[in-house]
Amino acid sequence: MNPKLRQLLAACSVDGDLARPIRWSDALILQNYGAIPPAVGKRGSYVLNRGFNLLLLGRGGVPRYFCKCRPTADQSLGRETAVLQALNRDPELSGVAPPTRGARSEELQLQVSEFVPGQSYAFRVPRLRESQWAASMRDILTLARRVSTRVAALLPDFLAGTGPVVLHEVAAGSLTELTAAGLGDDQLRALDTAIRRAGALPRLLQHGDLWPANVLWHQGAWRLLDFESFGRVQVPLYDVFHFVRTCWSLRQPRLEAAGVWIDSLASNDREAALCRYTIRRETSEFGLDAPQAIGVLLYYLVDVTARFIRRLPRPFWEPLALEVQRAADRLNAGVPLEEVVLGRT
């Protein structure tokens, strides 16, 4: 193994086992997103990327440590390490995230976590019965809410301000980017109006990428992974919409024929009813009203689409852009989105 990487691993060692030589056959590169050091752009600035992950095996070939390796300029990994270490120290939530340490050099930053061997919720969710699915979503979203509240107390610097979030202000940037996705002026206006109707919401740190692949079931408890986007969004319910939508899409027999989630929510089938019920319950838990929930849903769809447009080619963001268009079309047609998303209360 590269001596520089070995040094960083030794610096992250708790009980000394990472300070010992690591056999070449015990290190796997996974999720190899981009080169470290990253490519240099024409203007001399580094083109950011997410580096790669390293899986270190222990005795008997059992995964022992999961390491994230990122370029030094990457801001997200340091934030994630801070969140995980804060959770590790918290007596109530120490089991939610694995014990984690971090180190950095001039060209590489490293985060080393004990490997969590649980089963990914992404594998479980398509096979769950409806009642099991509803119960597991409730438990996971409750846990995510507890983490959000607790980390805000443990790391107050993560909050972008003390006052409430004015939704149309945080959504404005992403909304303008959607012209690239083919949204017309009337559609953008309808979205903006509905988001403005939500007004101001209490500020709450969000996981930012809460979807089934980032949730594990281990030793009778749920664990959350991948806090790299934690706190980027500070609008309550954002995680709920992301989680429910991605769960729904994983439960579709054929993903490419899954259709549009917003349209599905309007249908009478049981899965749609469970989605609506979960969203309604979480809205009530956060103390929000229906226009606020709809505003956050639209903000979520607009924000996630804009982020995909920035980073990924068209086939990845096209289905999301279609969700936004359908929502805007329903608003323009005078359909009450509150009923579609929350059901008749």
Partner 1 sequence: MRSNWLWLADLPGRERALAIQGGVGTLMAPWARHFGFVHHLASPRSLQVQSADPDTANIATAGASPCALPYRDAAFDCVIWEGVLERGVTAARGADASAVLAQVFGECRRVLRPGGCLYLGVAVAAWPGRPVGAARILSALARIVLRCAAVIPRVVWQRRVSAWVPHTDRLSLPPAMGRLLKEAGFSSVQAFYIDPSFHQPWSITPARRRAVLAYESRQAASAGLRWWIAWLGLHPLLYESHMFLAYARESEASPAPRRV
- Which one, 3 or 161, has the nearer CB to partner 1? 3
Select 188 or 213, whichever has its Cβ closest to partner 1.
Answer: 213
Nearer to partner 1, 51 or 295 (CB): 51
Is residue 55 involved in binding partner 1 (CB under 8 A)?
Answer: yes
Distance CA 163, CA 197 (A): 18
Query: By CB under 8 A, is residue 119 in contact with partner 1?
Result: yes
Whether a cis peptide bond, with omega within 30° of 0, leads into 63 is: no
123 vs 316, beta carbon nearer partner 1: 123
For partner 1, the closer of residues 44 and 91 by Cβ is 44
Considering beta carbons, is residue 23 or 89 the nearer one to partner 1? 23
Question: Cβ closer to partner 1: 54 or 201?
Answer: 54
Separation of CA 251 from chain center: 19
Nearest to 25 by CA among 49, 51, 57: 57
Please tell me whether residue 33 binds partner 1 under the rule CB under 8 A: yes
Q: Is 18 in the site for partner 1 (CB under 8 A)?
A: no
Report the residue from 11, 19, 52, 203 that binds partner 1 according to the rule CB under 8 A. 52
Helices (H) and strands (E) in the chain, counts: 12, 10
CA-to-CA distance for 49 and 36, rounded, in angstroms? 8
DSSP code, position 48: P
CB 222 within 8 A of CB 193: no
Cα 264 off chain centre by:
22
Instruction: Using the rule CB under 8 A, give the single segment among 89-97, 117-125, 184-192, 276-284 that binds partner 1.
Output: 117-125
- Return d(Cα 71, Cα 37) in angstroms, integer: 6
**Residue 154: Cβ within 10 Å count:** 16
How near is the Cβ of 6 to partner 1 at its closest, in Å? 8
Cβ closer to partner 1: 113 or 187?
Answer: 113
Q: Compute the least distance from the CB of residue 24 to partner 1, in Å.
A: 5
Residue of 48, 57, 166, 180 interacting with partner 1 (CB under 8 A): 57
Using CB under 8 A as the binding rule, whether residue 19 contacts partner 1 is answered as: no
The SS3 of residue 107 is coil
The window from 118-126, 238-246, 251-259, 261-269 that contacts partner 1 (CB under 8 A) reads 118-126
Candidates 59-67, 212-220, 245-253, 297-305; binding stretch for partner 1 (CB under 8 A): 59-67
Among 16, 60, 156, 334, the residue binding partner 1 under the rule CB under 8 A is: 60
Interactions with partner 1, residue window 122-161 (CB under 8 A): 123-124
Torsion of CA 149, 150, 153, 155, to 10 degrees: -110
Residue 170 contacts partner 1 per CB under 8 A? no
8/108 Cα distance (integer angstroms): 9
Q: Is 124 exposed, middle or buried (0-12, 13-18, 19+ CB in 10 A)?
A: middle
DSSP state of 256: G
User: Is the distance from CB of 257 to CB of 331 less than 8 angstroms?
Assistant: no
CA atoms within 13 A on the CB side of 38: 22
When asked if residue 31 is in the footprint of partner 1 (CB under 8 A), the reply is yes
When the beta carbons of 2 and 162 are compared against partner 1, the nearer one is 2
To the nearest whole angstrom, how small is the minimum distance from the Cβ of residue 114 to partner 1?
15
Structure tokens at 110: 């490293």
DSSP 22: P
Interaction between residue 37 and partner 1 (CB under 8 A): yes
Taking CB under 8 A as the criterion, the residue among 10, 11, 26, 72 binding partner 1 is 26
Distance CA 301, CA 324 (A): 6
User: Could you say whether residue 1 binds partner 1 (CB under 8 A)?
Assistant: yes
- By the criterion CB under 8 A, which residues form the site for partner 1? 1-3, 5, 24-37, 39-40, 49, 51-52, 54-55, 57, 60-63, 69, 108, 119-120, 123-124
